Amino acid sequence: MNKKSNAVQQQNQLLGFDVKKIRNDFPILHQIINGKPLIYLDNAATSQKPKNVLDAIEKYYREYNSNIHRGVHTLSENATEAYELARLKIKNFINAQSNKEVIFVRGATEAINLVAQSFGRNSLNKNDEIIITELEHHANIVPWQLLSKQTGATLKFIPINDNGELIIEEYEKLLSKNTKIVAVGHISNALGTINPIKTIIDMAHEYDAKVLIDGAQATSHTSVDVQKLDCDFYAFSGHKVFGPTGVGVLYGKEALLEKMPPYQGGGDMIKMVTMMDTQYNDLPYKFEAGTPNISGVIGLGAAIDYVNEIGLANISQYEDELLNYANQLASEITGLKFIGTAKQKTSILSFTLKGIHPHDIGTILNNEGVAIRTGHHCAMPVMERFKIPATSRASFAFYNTHEEIDELIKAIDKCKKVFN
């Protein structure tokens, strides 16, 4: 590691950011893979979980496992209290106005589908238009394709330039009085591009269009203030912000959610059921049919506690330094081509190596204990835009180190030696 990076690490420690201490909170990081210490650089796919999250989930199952909301016994009351406390934590985390605006779902994918089917299907017709971008994860493409086919609405796309940045001038041309929904990722999972979502939201609102932001890649890297953004919907997944899998959040403005019909029917989303009709529950429960992922929600609340304790400003500063360090070293590798070179990006190094398939790179790196993601990253239109089948993607979190990046670079060099 060079002197500059060593100085930055020392500065981070002075600011109270001690990566060695942080790593001790993540049990999974301390293991051997193929005879080498695990170097986990697949955080854009899922993040690892700190001990307080694991402990919170275990405590729920050991001490107060029970169904929520409908029980008067102590276990149920304790479970309900923990579940609703997590909702309050998330409300504060994203600065929603009310707990009513925080809907628990299985993940960002379900959140987007909920909006498409509940809001979109009941609002759009064949003369209307939906705008998404070429950067999107499939989870923010396919639901709008389905909606387009269901309603006859037209689906349009904001193009990207060779750096992997949205061309805002083209977006401006797409907007019209027919635009009803704009759905954009906060950060690209394939390239790490940070999109100018405040600008996108404001421009859409000039045409009275509603805006959904897919924040799956954002909440672990940067602060989110939904009131300041003025987005209509914001979706994110728990497992990418150091919480459990199978749980996520849909934020929606209360006035919009009130008008939207339920997405699913079942227990807890009702007030009264007769053989002929049903009276639906109040927000947020109208959209939470059936027994939810109680332990997952409680675990997500614990993850939010952990992130808040470290501070997203500290996390962002440290991860920016990691990415800059990785870019610096990777740029010296002959035959390595960066895919995605936006001026505003975070935590993702997506690349190709001349003459070597990304899957082969991933396999060789795994033999060295380095875990990265290879493939299209559920973003096939991005790959098509760059005329490649796949990339190798190293994605960083605040528990990664400069030394791990050194090992990544060594492993990439080994790939070249194997194939040359």
Catalytic residues: 378
- Among candidates 298, 399, 310, which has minimal Cα distance to 53? 298
Distance, CA of 132 to chain centre: 17
Q: Which helix (H) or strand (E) holds 318?
A: helix 312-330
Q: How many CA atoms lie within 13 A of 62 on its CB side?
A: 6
Amino acid at 235: A
Among candidate residues 334, 339, 328, the one with its CA nearest the CA of residue 412: 334
| Residue 274 buriedness (CB in 10 A; 0-12 / 13-18 / 19+) | exposed
Q: What are phi and psi of 88, to 5 degrees?
A: -65, -40
**What contacts 66, CB < 8 A, 6 or more positions away?**
73, 75, 76, 78, 79
Burial class of residue 272, CB neighbours in 10 A (0-12, 13-18, 19+): exposed
Helix (H) or strand (E) holding 299, with range, is helix 294-310
Bridge partners, residue 132, by sequence: 157
Residues 351/336, Cβ–Cβ less than 8 Å:
yes
Beta-ladder partners of 112: none
Cis ω for the linkage preceding 284 (within 30 of 0):
yes
Measure the CA–CA gap between 52 and 55, rounded to whole angstroms: 5
Please say whether the beta carbons of 230 and 202 come within 8 A: yes
3-state secondary structure of 319: helix
C-alpha distances in angstroms, 375 versus 123, 161, 351, 405, 410? 36, 21, 11, 21, 21
- Return the beta strands (E) in 175-296 as ranges: 179-185, 210-214, 233-237, 248-252, 270-273, 278-280
